[in-house]
Copies of this chain bind each other. A is one copy, B any other.
């Protein structure tokens, strides 16, 4: 492995780029952070693209807009910056202080071998989507997303529950119009939800349901089904009627089953190296095997991009 591969991308080298889109509170950061940690800070640049706001919070409120409106953002500059990163160029990224609602000093970012981009709009336009090797949309049921967002915003952003609920209601039309439609452009839709089949023991982590669209080459999964009852695979119809592979990783998956699955995925990617540690960590520090396996799937895609180039 050359230095350029192991460390920062060489000048002009194309990094492998992953988008994690989804609404506010949908678990994007939890999903992306574990991946970035697994890849390691020397090989991975992680950015949020929720900083391309056209207005500060006070001005946006005065205009009666939400941050989820394309008109409230410099999406052309976001696209430009994603394109620059995709060809290995540095950017001077705006930084929006989500606590104060104002702008901080911009941040110089040089893409490393892997670039993980999360935010509200990375899948919004064709130009933006074209910058990515793999695109993911985090799509929990709305009720669960509301619960997650309320928990985060009341514990770490200083809001009351009533304020968060009001804001969720105020944002709903823009969520429906601009954010949720991005779901249909993702290569992989990730949905964490309480198990529906009634087999999971009480307190088991949520099931992860992954819709795998045939827009990228997914790992061979059928031989992994022998790994146990932790995973099932079906062809289902998506919301719009198109057929799609659906993998369910059950919350009752145990560590041993998860390790077998991970090993299988990892070997499929052609890497002889060790499975990275630290996957599956939830925001509260607890461990979720379905999250770990979801992250393994995404790692598979990132590694595959490296080995196929």
Contact surface of A with B, Cβ cutoff 8 Å: 52, 54, 56, 74, 76-77, 80, 84, 89-92, 94, 102-106, 108
Contact of A94 among B76, B77, B80, B92 (CB under 8 A): B92
Docked CA distance A52–B108 (Å): 10
- Chain B residues with Cβ below 8 Å from A74 are 92, 108
Docked CA distance A104–B94 (Å): 11
Shortest CB-to-CB span from A77 to chain B, Å, is: 5
- For A52, give the chain B residue with the smallest CB separation: B92
- Chain B residues with Cβ below 8 Å from A102 are 105
Determine if A106 and B108 form an interchain contact, defined as CB atoms under 8 angstroms apart: no
Contact of A77 among B56, B80, B108 (CB under 8 A): B108
Determine if B90 and A77 form an interchain contact, defined as CB atoms under 8 angstroms apart: yes
- Chain B residues with Cβ below 8 Å from A106 are 92, 94, 103, 106
Shortest CB-to-CB span from A143 to chain B, Å, is: 37
Docked CA distance A94–B56 (Å): 16
Determine if B89 and A80 form an interchain contact, defined as CB atoms under 8 angstroms apart: yes
- For A81, give the chain B residue with the smallest CB separation: B92
A selection of 15 A-B contacts at a CB cut-off of 8 Å is A54-B108, A56-B105, A74-B108, A76-B90, A77-B90, A77-B92, A77-B108, A80-B89, A92-B94, A94-B106, A102-B105, A103-B104, A103-B105, A103-B106, A106-B106
